[in-house]
Structure 1
Amino acid sequence: AAHVLQEILTVKSDDIVGRVKAYEAIVKGDNTLEAGIPESFRVLVKELEGLALGVEILSEDERQIVLSEEDIPEIPLDLGISLEREELGEDSAE
């Protein structure tokens, strides 16, 4: 049970928002960090829905939480990180 709790409370490698927040917290020296929703959880929900199982995600106060693609912010843009690069084989002189 302790290992399961640790997995639930820690930032996962596929939690895009959590990773960025963890990086920002490390840089700023901030010790407060809340984990986001791991991508593997979103995949699990989609797989269950694909089996025609209704999945409702509820908050602590019994309100429904809706997962959508809009929940994932444009993190690289927020941090000023450019993910664009030249492809291999392209001529940079053009």
Structure 2
Amino acid sequence: LEAYGASHALQEMLTIKSDDVEGRSALYEALIRGKNPPRPKPPASFSVLVKELQGLGLELLPERGEVVE
């Protein structure tokens, strides 16, 4: 995405959001225990996009083994 000038969209997808209560809690626990932070989940807007594309009959295939729901 960054190659196409979509750095803000990339940043949005790679960070833990303030409304992600579970993600914030997991990050806090990892910081307290000195462990690696958890990987962030995709934003809810991405899930909406996936569902809309599936509604159009398009299938998204994962590139690196991630599950696309």
TM-score (norm 2): 0.55
Which structure has more relative contact order (CA 8 Å, sep 6+)? It is 2
TM-score normalised by L of structure 1: 0.45
* Structure 2: unaligned runs, 5 residues or longer: none
Unaligned runs of 5+ in 1: 69-94
Residue of 39, 45, 49 corresponding to 1:44: 49
Select the structure that is richer in helix: 2
Aligned residues: 63
Spell out structure 1 runs of 4+ moving beyond 4 A: 14-17
Q: CA RMSD in A?
A: 2.8
* 1:21 alignment partner in structure 2: 26
Q: Which structure's residues are more often strand, by fraction?
A: 1
